[in-house]
Each structure stands twice: as structure tokens, then as C-alpha cells.
Structure 1
Amino acid sequence: MAKDKTIYTCNACGGTSPKWLGKCPHCGEWNTLEETIAEPAGSGKNRFQALAKSSPVSTLADIEAADVERTPTGLDELDRVLGGGIVEGGVVLIGGDPGIGKSTLLLQAVDALSRQMKVLYVTGEESGAQVALRSRRLSLDGKQVRVQAEIQLERILATLETEQPAFCVIDSIQTLYSDQLSSAPGSVAQVRECAAHLTRTAKASGCTMVLVGHVTKEGALAGPRVLEHIVDTVLYFEGDTHSSFRLVRAIKNRFGAVNEIGVFAMTDKGLKGVTNPSAIFLSTHSEPVPGSCVLVTLEGTRPLLVEIQALVDSGGPSPRRLSVGLERDRLAMLLAVLHRHAGVACSDQDVFVNAVGGVRISEPAADLAVLLAIQSSLRGKALPRGFIAFGEVGLAGEVRPAPRGQERLKEAGKLGFSVAIVPKANAPKKPIEGLIIHAVERVEQAIELLRGL
């Protein structure tokens, strides 16, 4: 096969150059030229004609649309994140830190799916023997799992055409390379080109494709952002590698809800789904301790109870503000609101806030729980047993309602919690059995209630 001609395209202005340059000659930006395959003359016109023939214009109301059919993977928590199972022709990108369990989870899914469809596991980071050793360690059957150790894209595409699998795992996309490009595996051009070819193959053949992606030191997927745009679903592994619990979060899903999470426990037999994830995000104190407040947060369609811990200590001339699992800038804003509207000053104190269990909380409904935990630590007085709180706090000191507050309160009632401070707009019309609810409109009212409990 003749090698295609390559050019270098600027990702800032779109200008092209026949060779790589440190500075784009068109816009003057540095280190923006990336290798791409040059299209032959006339290819654009023929391609657009083909697209016009295959995609006629139609009225939106006349297009027949039905819910996509899903195939369960055999792992309930993974199915929850995917929206119910895998979709024919769908492309899933999954990323996470090294050693967090991506290959383990996908090998379990491949083994479970092999009982109902043809599967293929392509490994570019390990040999076939290493995959077999992991399979035996996890006590997987593996009799119908086809494995290929290969990193050249053209050979993988030939294997996909020969094997005709219904489910394929590529582990990982950063190890693949195409002969059409001269750049090294893992480069921006190689990652983009390999992902585009595999996506086209998946859409044309109906094979569900799972791409494993590496992450950078900041936790983002390595490679261009187009890697996330081109696929249908993006999943992230979260959690501490030193902990036995893992979270899989959906960041993008064209076939289901986003921000859905699946919770797994790492065992000697692989990753097992956790049926009651709230239990792992709550500390096991025999007695209530100062600085601890339980928050009812929403992750997708699932209400979770997470313990927020705060420690306020004398800080000296340069007090620190440190948060784990919550936004640090939001913590500084909440401390300013606490001082201005509730008269609680922490300007000379170190403030540390932590979400138990390694979970990351991004919703503003955690504001009220964070403030009450800080107040509890500052006073040195523990909150009552069975206490929960949630609500967004504004800069004017108002407590704003949180979405789906009824579901949050019902989940807390099921788990035996007895006292709650919530926004007034989230107060239920009918009482919830066993749960005393205090509705507040402002942060100073919440602080006053806390002092009386």
C-alpha cells in the first residue's frame, strides 16, 4: 500500500505547512502544527457528492426514531453508567489513572459478553500471556474470548473485518499507530487518526467499540479533545489506588444520562458492584464527632449520602484553605459568606475540608453541609446523631433549593437519619416518617438552629 502524503496543520488557525515548524507561519502561534494526512486533489468534491446521495433531506417529524436496543454487560454498575448496557455501533472511551482497574473491568465485561456474542480483546500494552494470567487470577472462563496483541492500526482493522466481533476492546488507543503517519504512537496525530478509523469501522459494522485512554497528571484524557468529541460515551475512573473502592463516572453519553456513577469494590476476584454505595462514604464513628456533617448529594439518578469533614485550627499569619473532593475557590467564597452574614470569622484559622471516600462533589447543594461542618469544628461541638443537610448558599446569604429534594430526604429517611436542615423550598408537603425537618431561608438561620440542637 502506497503511503499517503502528510502535511502539518495548525490547530489554532487551520493553516498548513509541508514540514513541521516550531512557529506557525500563518498566525505566529508556537507548537501548534500537527501532522495530518493530505487529501488527494478532487477527493473533497467526490466525498461531498457521496454524502449528499446517502443523506437526503427529510422533515424532522417524519423521521422514524425508536429507543436504541441495549445489551447488558453482566456488570450491573457498569450497565448503570452506560445507561442500561452497550449499544450496537456505539463507541465508548474510558480513562483513568494507571493501575486503577480499567483493564480488569473490561476483561470481566468481555468475558461476560462472550456468552452471548462474539468478542475481541485487542491489547497493545500487554502480551497475550499477560492477559491470560490476569484472566486466570480473576477466575474467568475465557473460552470464547478472542485476544490479539497488536499495535498497528491496519492489522487491527483487518482482524476486525475477518473476525466480525460484536464487541471489541482496544487497550489502549495511545499505543496504536498507523503506517500512513510518520509520527510516534501516542502523538496527537496518531491518536486522532486511529480513533477516527476505529469509530468509522464501528459505525459501519455495528460493532460496539471500547477505547481505553491514558490520562495526564491533571487527570484529563491525554491527546486532543477531539478524542472525546468523536466518541459516543466518555467514562472516567475515579478513586484512590490505595483504596479498595472505585467510581466510574459518565461525563458524556449520547444514549443515556450524564454524571451517572457506578461504584465498585476491588477484590481478589476483580471489581464487584457495590449495592449500597452510601455506606462507603460515611465514617464509622461510634459517637458523633465535631466537624462532621452528612450531605445528601445526587450523582445522576442516584441519591448518595456523603460525609463532609472539616477541621478548623489556628493558622497564624497565612492561614491555609485546603479542600479534597470539593472546589477550593468555592470554599473561600463560603467562608466569606459565613463571616459576613453569620458573624463567624475564620480569617486567622486554617480550614481543611474533605469528602470521605474519595468522591468528588461538584454540585452547589453541598454548600450548607460544608458551612455546618466548619461551624461544628470551630465550636468543637458535634452535630446530633443522624443529622443531614443540603442546600446551595448564595453570596447574599440566602439558602437556595437543591434539585430533587424529596428524593434526597426519602433516601436519608430510609437509612435511619432523623434530623435535617434543608432550604425552605425543599421542605416536603407531607412529613417523612422518622425525619424531623428544619427549613431555613438564610445561612444565619441555619447557624442559629445548629446552636440550639
Structure 2
Amino acid sequence: PGIGKSTLVLQNILSIRGKRILYVSGEESASQLKMRADRIGRLSDNCYIVCDTSLENILGHIKQVEPELVVVDSIQTIASDAIESSAGSVSQVRECAAQLLRYAKASGTPVILIGHINKEGSIAGPKVLEHIVDAVLQFEGDRHYMYRILRSIKNRFGSTSELGIYEMVQRGLREVSNPSELLLSQSADDGELSGMAIGVTLEGVRPFLIEAQALVSTAAYGTPQRSVTGFDSKRMNMLLAVLEKRVGFKLAQKDVFLNIAGGLKVNDPALDLSVICAILSSNVDMAVPRDVCMSGEVGLSGEIRPITRIEQRVLEAEKLGFSTILVPKNNMKGFDTSRLKIKIVEVAKVEEAFRALFA
């Protein structure tokens, strides 16, 4: 709720010229939609709005207007008179989606359904809704941060590895063309701080640089705490065990707090190296140089494993002005590095990465 689903769709349909569009709203009144449209600041003469929750009435409006695009906001508020259960129930969502599917296939008109997701992150209502539609676009992010991510979960027309990153501003959503610059803290003027390491991650096909922040302190209450935001907590525990067993750092009696800056949730294993470097940096209270970034997966024996799309990651780091990047050994085979201005340091083990950073 409040992530910006309706805002994103309204921004898009108001910018489409020359097509008749029917926007069906079961959640908001016409005056609320008008206020939002005025805030976005785009005008359209061919966008028709109807506020109704009856499927039969909506199909009647569709027949009358003959639109070239239909938007239903949201599918959980629409109910059919043929079914006795209330709107939002499994049977209502399934039946309404099936009837709109029949209309879309028969007329060749694209239909956009806006829906909710539940706490587990899956579409609220039946899983069959995902099977019915041609594409599932998931809009996610933390309401307390300004960034939103639009990712494709299913796409019958193209790739599912594309990703859109947006920033919520007063006039709606603005595309973030270079998220790396926003996700890195501008603390170079304040002197270097320990516990921060910059990793190069991939979301879909887009590489961007992200900051891992760690704080290691002596356990105040006897039992050490492990707190993680934006990263898999089980994976962090594994990395702490690697540091303890393979590298010899005693972290068993210390609190470890880890945060991925910007409120993003990252699943890319290539962020492992920056996570352990941030933890070590905080533990020994030595700063990682701000012009150094890294990318690599850490194995259980302390080795740094090769990662995918290494060329894209290196080029992104160079574009943003980094002077050095740490990458897994032999990961750069077949890649011409002679034209690159960035220095590439190949490391095979965790100890080598530490020596390269803190020697």
C-alpha cells in the first residue's frame, strides 16, 4: 500500500497520445484521481475515467467507449454479480480476471490489472492470476526510502532481467538513470570512515555500485547480536564463520550489524566480498579507500569464486571514477583490459583481498 502503483500507471497513460484509454478505478473517486493527475502535471484529452466496482457495469462502459487500452485499479476491488462472495475473494478475483482475459483476447485490446501483494511478497489472491496474465511486473521498495524498483517476474513478450529504478518526488515518479551515484554516501569530504566497502552488484542486466556498511563491537549483553538489513542473514552468518575459521578473526563474542545502504534488498552473491571487507574494516577500525570497489563470491573454504558479467561490473566502476577494483582470480580471461583506466586486482582468497586493501 502506498508504494506508487496507481501513480506509475497514471503517469504512463497520461503521456500516451492518440489512443483512447479507459481507467477503471474501484479504489478512488474521480475527484481523487483528478487531484493526482493535476499533481503529476500532465494533461490528456483521451483518457476516460470510470469509478465502479461491478464487473458487468465495467464491461458495459468498455463496450460504450471502445478503448484501445484498459486499466483496472485494482482487481481486488472488482466483483461480479454472478458470484455471491465479496470482492477480493479467491473466486471473485479469478472470475473477474478470466472475464477481462476473454475480452482482451477477443478484442485484441491490452488490459492492465493493478493488484496487491501480501506480506509474503506474492500476489494477494489466487496464484492462478499469475498464470492468466501475459506479464507480471512487481513494484517494490521501502516506503521510508525514496527509491522504487519495477522488476519483471514473468514476461511472455521479452526478457525478465530488465529493471526500472524510480525515485518518488512531489510530481510523481522520476526515473533514476544512474542509481549508483545515489546509493553511495558522499562522505569523502568528511574523511574516510571504517566499516564501509563498495561492491558492484547486478540487478537484472543493470550493474550498479552499492555500499555495504558494517559495525562490529564488543557484545554488551553476553550473547552476541547479529542484525542485518538488506542482505540475507544466513549468508552473513556463513561469511562470519569463514572469517573465523579460515582467516582467524575472532568475532564469536562481538556484535555484528550489517546494512545495505539505500534501503535496497540485494541477493547477488557477488556482494559477499564487500560485506566481509566492511566487517573486517569495522573490526580493525581501518577504512577501506574510497576509490576502491570490489566484486566476488566467497566460498566456504575462504576462496573467492568467479562471478557473472564481470565486464559490465568493471566498466560501471570505471565510469563512476573508481581507481581500483578487486575481482576473483582468472575471472577476466578473454577480456581485453588494455584500454581500461581502472586498475584490476585479481584475488584468489579472502586473505589476499585484505592484504590488497590494508597492506
Class of the TM-score when normalised by the shorter of the 2 chains: over 0.9
Q: Which residue of 1 aligns with 2:13?
A: 110
SS in 1 for 2:33: helix
Q: Which residue of 2 aligns with 1:129?
A: 31
Contact 2:18 2:46 in 1 (8 A): no
Q: Which residue of 2 aligns with 1:425?
A: 330
Give the letter for the 1:216 counterpart.
N
Deviation of residue 167 (structure 1)? 1.5
Deviation of residue 179 (structure 1)? 1.4
Q: Which residue of 2 aligns with 1:4?
A: none
| Pairing 1:161–2:63 present | yes
Deviation of residue 112 (structure 1)? 1.1
Deviations 1:79-105 (A, max 9, x none): xxxxxxxxxxxxxxxxxxx11211111
Q: Which residue of 2 aligns with 1:447?
A: 354
Q: Which residue of 2 aligns with 1:46?
A: none
| Pairing 1:342–2:247 present | yes
**Aligned runs of 1:282-321 on 2, under 5 Å?**
282-285=184-187, 286=189, 287-315=191-219, 316-321=221-226
Distance 1:439 1:226 in 2: 47
Deviations 1:120-139 (A, max 9, x none): 11000011121112111222
Deviation of residue 229 (structure 1)? 2.3
Contact 1:367 1:392 in 2 (8 A): yes
Contact 1:257 1:300 in 2 (8 A): no
Q: Which residue of 1 aligns with 2:48?
A: 146
Of the candidates 324, 328, 347, which is equivalent to residue 233 of structure 2? 328
Contact 1:127 1:149 in 2 (8 A): yes
State the superposition RMSD in angstroms: 1.6
SS in 2 for 1:426: coil
SS in 1 for 2:216: strand
Distance 1:353 1:199 in 2: 45
Give the letter for the 2:344 counterpart.
I
Distance 1:322 1:204 in 2: 53
Closer, same or farther in 2 for the Cα pair 1:432/1:338, shift >3 Å?
farther
Distance 2:309 2:67 in 1: 42
Distance 2:227 2:154 in 1: 29
Distance 2:274 2:106 in 1: 50
Contact 2:72 2:113 in 1 (8 A): yes
Deviations 1:172-195 (A, max 9, x none): 011011112111111111112212
**Aligned runs of 1:234-253 on 2, under 5 Å?**
234-253=136-155
| Pairing 1:362–2:267 present | yes
Deviation of residue 116 (structure 1)? 2.6
SS in 2 for 1:377: helix
Distance 1:354 1:259 in 2: 25
Distance 1:151 1:346 in 2: 58
Give the letter for the 2:95 counterpart.
E
The count of aligned residue pairs is: 354
Computing the radius of gyration over CA atoms, which structure comes out larger, 1 or 2? Answer: 1
Give the letter for the 2:316 counterpart.
E
Closer, same or farther in 2 for the Cα pair 1:200/1:398, shift >3 Å?
farther
Deviation of residue 432 (structure 1)? 5.1
Q: Which residue of 1 aligns with 2:177?
A: 275
Deviation of residue 336 (structure 1)? 0.9
Closer, same or farther in 2 for the Cα pair 1:259/1:347, shift >3 Å?
farther
Contact 2:288 2:358 in 1 (8 A): no
Deviation of residue 220 (structure 1)? 2.9
Q: Which residue of 1 aligns with 2:307?
A: 402
SS in 2 for 1:425: coil
Contact 1:310 1:374 in 2 (8 A): yes
Deviation of residue 429 (structure 1)? 4.1
Q: Which residue of 1 aligns with 2:289?
A: 384
SS in 1 for 2:330: helix
Give the letter for the 2:230 counterpart.
G
Contact 2:289 2:357 in 1 (8 A): no
Deviations 1:299-339 (A, max 9, x none): 22211111111111222432122221111111111111121
Q: TM-score, normalised by structure 1?
A: 0.75
Deviation of residue 111 (structure 1)? 0.7
Contact 1:105 1:270 in 2 (8 A): yes
Deviations 1:218-258 (A, max 9, x none): 33321122222222222222222233322212222222222
Give the letter for the 1:111 counterpart.
L
Structure 2: runs of 5+ lacking an equivalent: none
Distance 1:432 1:380 in 2: 35
Q: Which residue of 1 aligns with 2:101?
A: 199
Percent identical among aligned pairs is 47
Structure 1: runs of 5+ lacking an equivalent: 1-97
Give the letter for the 2:314 counterpart.
L
Distance 1:430 1:153 in 2: 60
Contact 1:312 1:352 in 2 (8 A): yes
Give the letter for the 1:411 counterpart.
E
Distance 2:205 2:262 in 1: 20
Deviation of residue 283 (structure 1)? 0.9
Deviations 1:363-391 (A, max 9, x none): 21111111111111111111012111111
Contact 1:410 1:432 in 2 (8 A): no
Give the letter for the 1:232 counterpart.
D
Contact 2:270 2:295 in 1 (8 A): yes
| Pairing 1:261–2:168 present | no
Contact 1:413 1:432 in 2 (8 A): no
Q: TM-score, normalised by structure 2?
A: 0.94
Distance 2:159 2:218 in 1: 44
Q: Which residue of 2 aligns with 1:101?
A: 4
Distance 1:174 1:358 in 2: 28
SS in 2 for 1:289: coil
